[in-house]
């Protein structure tokens, strides 16, 4: 085990509150000089979606999935108390009042702090997501790369 601490998060969830928890821990760990990786898989991939409606060559079912899944972190629902989006709006308002960072800013901060953002290629296939729909400058990998990061890690979380 090297001297540098490592935090590796599998981000499976696509809920606003869980993604926020993941990025707050990631940014905190990066501030404490951890090497941090967030491995986005399944619904967590939606945090990496661009805001614009990109329609690459997709099958009908892929289009349907793409349409119903949130386009980017800012559009994700809460896992609880969402009330058709009202709960998410309340959380965002309170965050503004407390000068807390909204989720898209937490993601930008993670990039600035060199948190390694990875998209799981296998689940991209399953959900019909293409690289041109996702944020620029992220990495693409599979479970082997995840394990290589995690097996020497200090803080391993599945969110």
- Tell me how far apart the alpha carbons of residues 87 and 77 are, in angstroms, rounded to a whole number: 9
Contact 131, 140 (CB under 8 A): yes
Kindly state the tokens that stand for 13.
């969830």
> Does 94 help bind a copy of itself (rule: CB under 8 A)?
yes
Tell which residue, 77, 69, 105, 101, has the closest CA to residue 17. Answer: 77
**CA diameter of the chain:** 49
Kindly state the tokens that stand for 85.
């989006």
Candidates 29, 38, 103, 118; binder of a copy of itself (CB under 8 A) is 29
**Residues 44-63 interacting with a copy of itself (rule: CB under 8 A):** 61
> Shortest gap between Cβ of 145 and a copy of itself (angstroms)?
10
> Does 5 help bind a copy of itself (rule: CB under 8 A)?
yes
- Tell me how far apart the alpha carbons of residues 100 and 21 are, in angstroms, rounded to a whole number: 13
> Does 114 help bind a copy of itself (rule: CB under 8 A)?
no
Note the residues at the interface with a copy of itself (CB under 8 A): 5, 7, 10, 12, 14, 17-18, 21, 24-25, 28-29, 32, 34, 41-43, 61, 65, 68-69, 79-81, 87, 90-91, 93-95, 98, 100, 122, 125-126, 128, 143-144, 146-147, 150-159
């Amino acid at each position: 085990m090297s001297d540098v601490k490592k935090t590796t998060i599998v981000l499976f969830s696509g809920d606003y509150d869980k993604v926020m928890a993941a990025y707050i821990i990631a940014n905190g760990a990066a501030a404490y000089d951890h090497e941090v990786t967030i491995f986005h898989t399944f619904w967590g991939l939606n945090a990496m979606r661009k805001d614009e409606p990109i329609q690459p060559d997709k099958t009908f079912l892929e289009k349907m999935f793409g349409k119903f899944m949130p386009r980017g972190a800012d559009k994700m629902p809460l896992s609880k108390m969402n009330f058709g989006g009202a709960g998410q709006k309340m959380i965002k308002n309170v965050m503004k009042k407390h000068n807390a960072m909204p989720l898209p800013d937490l993601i930008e901060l993670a990039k600035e702090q060199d948190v390694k953002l990875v998209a799981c290629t296998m689940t991209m296939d399953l959900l019909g997501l293409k690289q041109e729909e996702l944020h620029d400058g992220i990495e693409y990998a599979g479970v082997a790369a995840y394990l290589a990061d995690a097996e020497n890690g200090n803080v391993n979380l599945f969110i």
